[in-house]
């Protein structure tokens, strides 16, 4: 309508009422379709496995109802789902906090000191290549079985993306930004705080986001070595012995929901704020 | 003499592939107080390197760069630079960008506003650089360079990426600011007309290795008429020399000399 009118009347520019509600409805519908695809694949695999192999593969409806019961207080591998989630969140929170402090400090140091970067990045790349499960023997050797070992594994998997993105972000700050600060008579600390840090902020946030996701995903592996029978990862692993696969599917769902919620709530809004500040386009 | 290059050479070496590039070889150049010096030449002739040496972003391989009789050891607010590429901080407002370079401790905001007024952008103080056009961004960059209170204004093809109309308008702005502030300007451009329109002196550089080919002193008053006979003949002369240099550059590359250690 608006487009046709503009063309017919020969306008160069025009305004029209943005179709916010329609776009939002479309976005919601697309998200719903996306979820449906996941459920469909899951259901198909479940039915196929039950038919071909005769195993009790939990279907989406079974898992949903078990999930609902768990929310209402039913036990999942000996504890309520909230106790499991709480234990996991605490371990992950501790690990991520340590990783955040260490990773940012290392990344900032590597980003500003080229020699340190060239030497230090080798070990970061090596650490990054080690999969989460492979940290288990190392963690056990250093800390034995228990909470500390779990937190250690989370720290080690969350640190590399933090360091790589922080250092990379600072090193990729255009030289002209530094030159402007230098000719304006700024010292090292002003250059760092007022120019390098804001210029690299998007990359740093990206590293924080990947580190967060890494740490959350490695929980399953990390909780194989916890001493106490508590945690979403422990609960998943426990189905090897209990054969209660529905319970482990409930835990998998809880992990996905918590992880996505944290990422969407925390990081998407943070990233959009920074993008806005940098004059870049928003990301949904 | 405000600034001078004394027998300056600049060599860039790349240790990874063992290649050396002589950007400048034995350059002597004096920048006199109050002049508007235009550096022209084809790309790769060392114009920008000369400017970066004057700014203190690069240090000479051989020879001395002097400013007010003292050796240049690094960038300083005495020498303001307007860059060719976008150089405003996107996370700061237009006003904050200018304030960043104001040297005075007190009244930074009102001082920054004054400089924005000079380039006619005080109405955009709270805008983001991303909301401005290319020409407006460069005007803010000029305001920022002026806000440093420099004795020498160095401009590195500042309007090279702008359209012809905007470039002419900004050339006039620069000319006005130069006259009002009685600054000294070194202006790098590859546009001969721009150099003839602005400069009190035009220095032609040529490449491989970068050196100074010739210079002309222009005493015509502004606004200049580029279609006047004297300007036309000067223009022809410069184009002729530029082509001669370009032909020399375009000749078959000589065998690279390998220098052992």
pLDDT in tens, chain A (284 residues): 778 888 888 888 888 887 778 878 888 899 899 999 999 999 999 999 999 998 889 999 999 999 999 988 888 888 888 999 999 999 999 999 999 999 999 999 999 999 999 999 999 999 999 888 888 889 889 998 888 888 999 999 999 999 999 999 999 999 999 999 999 999 999 999 999 999 999 999 999 999 998 898 888 778 877 666 788 888 888 888 888 888 889 988 998 899 888 888 888 888 888 888 777 654 44
The confidence score (pLDDT) of residue B257 equals 67
Task: Determine which of A169, A179, A183 to mutate to test the interface with B (most B C-beta atoms within 10 Å).
Answer: A183
- Decide if B103 and A180 are in contact by the 8 Å CB cutoff: no
The confidence score (pLDDT) of residue A219 equals 82
- Decide if B81 and A279 are in contact by the 8 Å CB cutoff: no
Looking at the fold, whether B63 and B180 belong to one and the same domain comes out as yes
All residue ranges of chain B with pLDDT < 50 are: 251-253
Task: Determine which of B89, B152, B153 to mutate to test the interface with A (most A C-beta atoms within 10 Å).
Answer: B89
Domain assignment of residue B128, yes or no: yes
**Per-residue tokens: A253:** 């769902």
Looking at the fold, whether A174 and A40 belong to one and the same domain comes out as no
Task: Residue A279: list chain B partners with CB under 8 A.
Answer: 90-91, 128-131
Domain assignment of residue A4, yes or no: no
Of B149, B166, B198, at which residue does a domain stop?
B149
Domain assignment of residue B258, yes or no: no
The string of pLDDT tens digits covering residues A229-284 is 788 888 888 888 888 888 889 988 998 899 888 888 888 888 888 888 777 654 44
The confidence score (pLDDT) of residue A23 equals 79
Looking at the fold, whether A166 and A241 belong to one and the same domain comes out as yes
Task: Residue A195: list chain B partners with CB under 8 A.
Answer: 89
Q: Does A277 touch chain B (CB under 8 A)?
A: yes
**Bridge partners, A76 (sequence order):** A79
Q: Does A184 touch chain B (CB under 8 A)?
A: yes
Q: Of all helices (H) and strands (E), which one includes residue B64? A: strand B62-67
**Could you tell me the pTM of the whole model?**
0.82
Looking at the fold, whether B31 and B142 belong to one and the same domain comes out as no
**What ranges make up the beta strands (E) of chain A?**
75-76, 79-80
Looking at the fold, whether A52 and A83 belong to one and the same domain comes out as no
- Decide if A195 and B89 are in contact by the 8 Å CB cutoff: yes
Q: Are B51 and B81 in contact (CB under 8 A)?
A: yes
Of B110, B133, B149, at which residue does a domain stop?
B149
Looking at the fold, whether A121 and A48 belong to one and the same domain comes out as no
Looking at the fold, whether B73 and B172 belong to one and the same domain comes out as yes
Q: ipTM beyond 0.85?
A: yes
- Decide if B90 and A278 are in contact by the 8 Å CB cutoff: yes
Looking at the fold, whether B117 and B230 belong to one and the same domain comes out as no
The count of CB pairs under 8 A between chains A and B is: 62
Query: How far is Cα A88 from Cα A220, in angstroms, rounded to an integer?
Result: 9
Looking at the fold, whether B128 and B161 belong to one and the same domain comes out as no
Domain that holds residue A42: 18-57
Of B149, B171, B186, at which residue does a domain stop?
B149
Separation of CA B217 from chain center: 18
- Decide if A185 and B76 are in contact by the 8 Å CB cutoff: yes
Q: Tell which B residues from 190 to 209 touch A, by Cβ distance under 8 Å.
A: none
Q: Does A273 touch chain B (CB under 8 A)?
A: no
Q: For A83-101, give one letter per residue: b (16+ CB within 10 A) or e.
A: ebbebbbebbebbbebbbe
- Decide if B79 and A183 are in contact by the 8 Å CB cutoff: yes
The confidence score (pLDDT) of residue A145 equals 82
């Amino acid at each position: 309508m608006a487009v046709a009118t503009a063309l017919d009347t020969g306008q160069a520019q025009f305004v029209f009422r943005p179709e916010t509600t329609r776009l939002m409805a479309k976005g919601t519908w697309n998200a719903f379709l996306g979820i449906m695809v996941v459920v469909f694949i899951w259901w198909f695999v479940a039915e196929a496995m039950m038919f071909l192999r005769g195993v009790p593969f939990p279907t989406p409806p079974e898992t949903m109802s078990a999930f609902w019961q768990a929310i209402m207080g039913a036990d999942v591998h000996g504890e309520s789902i909230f106790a499991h989630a709480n234990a996991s969140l605490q371990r992950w929170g501790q690990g991520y906090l340590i990783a955040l402090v260490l990773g940012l400090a290392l990344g900032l140091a590597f980003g500003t000191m080229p020699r340190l970067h060239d030497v230090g990045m080798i070990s970061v790349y090596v650490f990054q290549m080690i999969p989460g499960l492979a940290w288990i023997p190392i963690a056990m050797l250093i800390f034995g079985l228990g909470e500390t070992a779990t937190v250690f594994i989370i720290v080690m998997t969350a640190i590399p993306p933090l360091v790589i993105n922080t250092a990379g972000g600072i090193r990729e700050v255009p030289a002209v930004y530094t030159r402007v600060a230098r000719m304006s008579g700024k010292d090292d600390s002003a250059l760092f705080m007022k120019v390098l840090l804001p210029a690299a902020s998007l990359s740093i946030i990206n590293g924080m986001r990947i580190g967060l996701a890494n740490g959350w995903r490695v929980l399953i592996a990390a909780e194989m070595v916890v001493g106490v029978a508590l945690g979403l990862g422990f609960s998943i692993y426990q189905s090897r012995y209990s054969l209660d696969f529905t319970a482990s599917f409930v835990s998998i769902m809880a992990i996905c929901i918590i992880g996505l919620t944290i990422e969407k709530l925390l990081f998407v809004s943070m990233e959009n704020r920074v993008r806005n500040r940098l004059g870049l386009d928003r990301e949904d | 003499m405000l600034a001078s290059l004394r027998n300056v050479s600049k060599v860039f070496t790349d240790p990874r592939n063992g290649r050396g590039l002589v950007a400048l070889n034995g350059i002597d150049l004096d920048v006199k107080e109050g002049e508007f010096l235009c550096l022209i030449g084809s790309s790769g002739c060392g114009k920008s390197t000369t400017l970066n040496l004057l700014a203190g972003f690069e240090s000479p391989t051989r020879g001395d760069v002097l400013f007010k009789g003292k050796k240049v050891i690094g960038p300083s607010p005495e020498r303001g630079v307007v860059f060719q590429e976008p150089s405003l901080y996107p996370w700061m407002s237009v006003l904050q960008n200018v304030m960043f370079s104001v040297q005075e401790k007190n009244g930074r905001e009102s001082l920054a506003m004054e400089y924005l007024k000079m380039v006619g952008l005080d109405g955009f103080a709270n805008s983001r650089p991303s909301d401005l056009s290319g020409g407006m961004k460069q005007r803010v960059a000029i305001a920022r360079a002026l806000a440093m209170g420099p004795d020498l204004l160095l401009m590195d093809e500042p309007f090279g990426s702008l359209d012809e109309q905007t470039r002419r308008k900004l050339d006039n702005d620069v000319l006005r600011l130069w006259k009002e502030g009685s600054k000294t300007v070194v202006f790098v451009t590859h546009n001969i007309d721009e150099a003839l329109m602005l400069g009190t002196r035009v220095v032609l550089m040529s490449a491989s290795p970068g050196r100074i080919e010739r210079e002309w002193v222009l005493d015509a008053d502004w606004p200049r008429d580029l279609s006047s006979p004297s300007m036309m003949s000067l223009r022809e002369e410069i184009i002729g020399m530029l082509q001669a240099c370009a032909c020399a550059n375009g000749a078959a590359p000589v065998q690279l000399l390998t220098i052992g250690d």
